Structure 1
Amino acid sequence: MKKLIILIGLLFLVFGSSTCTKPPDNSAEISSPTTPKQSSSLATSLTSISSPSQQRKRQRVGHGLGMRRWERGTAIILKDKEKASFALTTYVATFQKIQETLPALGKVMAHPLRQAIVSYPFSARIAAIHVSQGDWVKKGDPLVTLYSQTVGEARSAYYKAIADYELAKVNYEREKNLFDKGVGAKKNLLAAEAQLKVAQSNLEEAEKKLHVLGFNEKQVKEMAQSHQISPSITLFAPISGKIATSQAILGAMVSESTEIMTILDPRLLCIDAEVFEKDIAKIRLGQEVKVTVPAYPNKIFKGKIAYISDFLNEETRTIKVRTAIPNPDYLLKPGMLANIEIILNHQEKALVVPKEAILDEGNEHIVFVEKNGKYFPRVIKTGFQHNGLVQITDGLKAGEKVVVNGNFALKSKLYEDILEKEHVH
């Protein structure tokens, strides 16, 4: 039994060794089809062993995201049919005098120093109306006459203060005359003098109250001579301008919160605009501003920056800039939307092309330059723009022709040629 077990073990070792040492069938491995996974691995291996020059070539062609897929000197050659279908037009880059401007959107406002609200600080009734809405008035013109119980009481107190002062003055002069002759007592003179001072103080207080109620110095003097107790008071125009609004109705009651009239001088308005934080350093007081409004698109209004806010709007990251603008023809109206252009410099010579000639290429700007019937893409750097022209700071020379119309078709043609070359390779 023991011998049988040993014999079986030897047979197992012999056959097992022959199986493990069997050579692989290379022909079967070569002829077997390659799976997609194996193909991907193979492509990866081939890419990894490519030479550095081949890798740089692929990068130049533009396999990297956001990179240009063409080199400087690449030319586009069009057939006659393509030229006709593209409808190409060119513009010669030239030096011109243009202004650098900063555009912004604003709103026409009434000038804060050229408007006034006519109201009255006490309860009153409208007794007479001297102007209507839309009328032009000068400073000091009568606007409306009011009846007020407070005015009547103040007038009465003023007349009483005048009478008390005149009586105290006569009494003081009499006591002083007696004292000077040696027949009057000094204490009587001192008492008369004190009464005079009190009466004078009461008169000044009554006069100041009349000023508070709206009476001017001339009216108070006339009142002192007439001695007429009347509850009426006339309100006068505080500024020259136009009656913009009026709530005056004959016989209506007004209170201290009632805006009876609003006067606006439209000959000088202002425009409030918001300028972005990044442009704050470019603006300053006194800079010239050009303004256009939708109502008069072909007319340019001119003004100057009169105010720059000290506070930045944290939500919009903008700062308020106010432009004072003359309005002699009264064309501008408060509430209008306005496009402003802040002039950052006076006219200077700059190499310019139309903005339509410039295309975006990733993070760069390009134009197509026409030379000897060929079209070359060219990377450029731009500066400011004005009236549809853009300053070229690098990448272009004066006299070179750039494509204005049909440049999008040229760009498509450029990438079509690149794709065909990549497919061939």
Structure 2
Amino acid sequence: MKKQVLIYSKMKRLLIIGLLGLMTTVFYSCDTPAANEESAAHNEEHGDHDEEASGEVRITREQADVLDLQLGRVEEKSLAKNIKVNGYLDLYPQDKAAVTTFIGGNLVDIYVKEGDKVKKGQVLARLEHPDYVQLQQELQEGVSQLGYLKSEYERKEKLYKEDISSGREYQKAKAEYFAMQARVKALKAKLKLLNLQVDKILAGELYNTVPVIAPIDGYIGEVLVSIGDFAEPGTTMFLITNNDKTHVDFKVYEKDIYKVRQGQKAYFTIANRPGELIEARIEKIGRTFEDDPKAIHVHAAITGPVKAGLLPGLYVEGRIVEAEKPARVLPEEAIVKDGEGSFIFILDEDESSENEMVFKPVMVTTGIEDAGFVEVAFAEPLPEEARVVIRGAYMLSSELIKGELEHDD
């Protein structure tokens, strides 16, 4: 009983006038006639019980929705002595591509949109230009001439060796043959770069358009052209990123560099997944300092199961582990600080009903704080199935204070 009195006296010191005003507005706006009647009936039937439960907070489920309360459980996580870092999700150069053409052409078809997943070798668009046809024609003519020049070269070579033909005629035939041979090889290489099938061209087929091919697996990040545009040589038409290869690019400051080594575990959080620790492992350590501030880049592969939603460019906060230990933890937002002490709210399942939720404060001792989580210990064991308020705890504490003040009056 003495401990309970201590809890309540500490809670009274949390007089946040502005918050009380906000809570009063929210709760009055959420009260319905039915809820008021139910509350009145409850008070009539259980007047003595309310005297005993002055440390509870009772709200309707509708009010809980308005306050955006979120429940969770005490978790086991590894908290440790660590190096605090920040950085971004990033891709290595080989995991992103700018799609261009080396011979300009007009866009006649575009087959993809931003966000589409594509495979290496997939056709993204088609280009059209007379130069493409001209190259194919030159290859067909070159191959035909190559056969004649080869025969002429071999004939002149035989005559030269028999001292029937002059060396000059032999050298001329040889030069013409090897020059055409080089030209044919160059034309084949150009047409392969245009992603055309050389064998079919040599069989007599001509292509009016050339395909624009995805060089890597990934997602279309940007489409920078429209149908009818003329794509200049070297102009970027599409940007592709292989987000499945996303890694973490941490920035480690000068004072901590000696503590970092390959293979170390790291954990990080991102804004679109609050309260969720994602595991990584150090795989590359930079060897060049940035000047402002003095730091190096440390790259970590993401080893945790979370992959979806990790987009290059997202800001991350994390830690690189030096030594770690398992601990019972809660998100920082679940802890209500009261002077030198702290407490949390747990849902009283037995007292709660279909329309009402009852929360009780429980004192906790806090330990290591790391990456948005706090180590917690309890004077008395907390049931494993106990549901804890992990979002909105301060809103409940202000309502608790309001109830205490009204009770004192």
TM-score (norm 2): 0.56
Whole-angstrom CA distance in 2 between matches of 1:331 and 1:109: 13
Name 2:144's counterpart in structure 1: 163
CA RMSD of aligned residues (A): 4.1
In 2, the alpha carbon distance for the partners of 1:301 and 1:112 equals: 23
Report the AA paired with residue 147 of structure 1.
E
Cα separation, partners in 2 of 1:160 and 1:385, compared to 1, 3 Å = same
Q: Deviations over 1:88-114 (max 9, x none)?
A: 9xxxxxxx9853222222222234322
Aligned residue among 308, 311, 316 for 1:330 = 308
Q: Which residue of 1 aligns with 2:181?
A: 200
| Number of equivalenced pairs | 277
- Corresponding residue of 2:83: 102
Contact 1:150–1:231 (CA under 8 A) maintained in structure 2: no
Looking at structure 1, the residues matched to 133 and 80 of structure 2 have their Cα atoms a distance apart, in angstroms, of 64
Cα deviations across residues 169-190 of structure 1 (Å, max 9, x unaligned)? 232345567789x795364555
Match of 2:42 in 1: none
What is residue 203 of structure 2 aligned with on the other side?
225
> Partners of 2:312 and 2:239 in 1: how far apart?
14
Query: How many Å separate the matches in 2 of 1:288 and 1:110?
Result: 19
> What's the % identity of the aligned pairs?
22
Gaps of 5+ in 1: 1-80, 89-95, 357-365, 368-382, 391-398, 400-425
Distance 2:194 2:133 in 1: 13
Question: What secondary structure, in the 3-state scheme, does the structure 2 residue paired with 1:251 have?
Answer: coil
Of the structure 1 ranges 147-156 and 270-279, higher mean CA displacement relative to structure 2 is found in 147-156
Which residue is equivalent to 2:318? 340
Q: Does 1:388 align with 2:374?
A: yes
Kindly indicate whether the alpha-carbon contact (under 8 Å) linking 2:140 and 2:204 is maintained by their aligned counterparts in 1: no
Which residue, 226, 235, 242 being the options, matches 1:258? Answer: 235
2:165 match: 185
- Inter-partner Cα distance in structure 2 for 1:288 and 1:132: 38
Residue of structure 2 in register with 1:292 after alignment:
269
* Contact 1:277-1:319 at 8 Å conserved across structures: yes
Aligned positions of 1:17-416 closer than 5 A: 85=9, 98-175=79-156, 185=165, 187=167, 191-211=172-192, 214-216=193-195, 219-228=197-206, 230=207, 232-325=209-302, 329-347=307-325, 386=370, 387-389=373-375
Seen in structure 2, the aligned counterparts of structure 1 residues 343 and 126 have a Cα distance that, compared at 3 Å, is same
Q: Secondary structure at the match of 2:243?
A: coil
User: How far did residue 146 of structure 1 move?
Assistant: 0.6
**Contact in 2 for aligned 1:119/1:261 (Cα 8 Å):** yes
Q: In 1, Cα distance between the equivalents of 2:199 and 2:257?
A: 54
Residue 333 to residue 313, structure 1, CA distance change in 2 (3 Å)? same
Aligned mates of 2:108, 2:148 — CA distance in 1:
36
* Aligned mates of 1:169, 1:306 — CA distance in 2: 56
Matches of 1:176 and 1:279, distance apart in 2: 74
CA shift in 2, pair 1:186/1:237, >3 Å = same
2:94 counterpart SS class: coil
Q: Which runs of 4+ in 1 moved over 4 A?
A: 81-88, 173-180, 186-191, 326-329, 383-387
Find the aligned partners of 2:228 and 2:6 in 1 and give their Cα distance.
82
Following superposition, the deviation at residue 235 of structure 1 comes to 1.5
Per-residue deviation, residues 230-288 of structure 1 (Å, max 9, x unmatched): 45221111111122211232222222353211112211212223222111111122322
**1:357-389, CA deviations, whole angstroms, 9 ceiling, x for partnerless residues?**
xxxxxxxxx99xxxxxxxxxxxxxxx9864435
DSSP 3-state at the match of 2:187: helix
Amino acid paired to 2:317: N
Structure 2: state its 5+ residue gaps.
13-76, 342-366, 380-409
Aligned partners of 2:78 and 2:91: how far apart in 1? 35
Give 1:185's aligned amino acid. Answer: S
Go from structure 1 to structure 2 and tell me whether the alpha carbon gap of 1:302 and 1:113 turns closer, same or farther (over 3 Å shift).
farther
> Deviation digits for residues 25-55 of structure 1, max 9, x if unmatched?
xxxxxxxxxxxxxxxxxxxxxxxxxxxxxxx
> C-alpha offsets along residues 103-156 of structure 1, whole Å, 9 cap, x if unaligned?
222222234322111112332100222323222221111111111344334333
The one-letter code sitting in structure 1 at the alignment partner of 2:374 is: G
Aligned pair in 2 of structure 1 residues 201, 314: CA closer, same or farther (>3 Å)?
closer
CA distance in structure 2 between the partners assigned to 1:152 and 1:320 by the alignment: 49
C-alpha deviation, 1:345, in angstroms: 2.6
Q: What CA distance in whole angstroms lies between the structure 1 residues aligned with 2:285 and 2:179?
A: 52
CA distance in 2, matches of 1:317, 1:288: 23
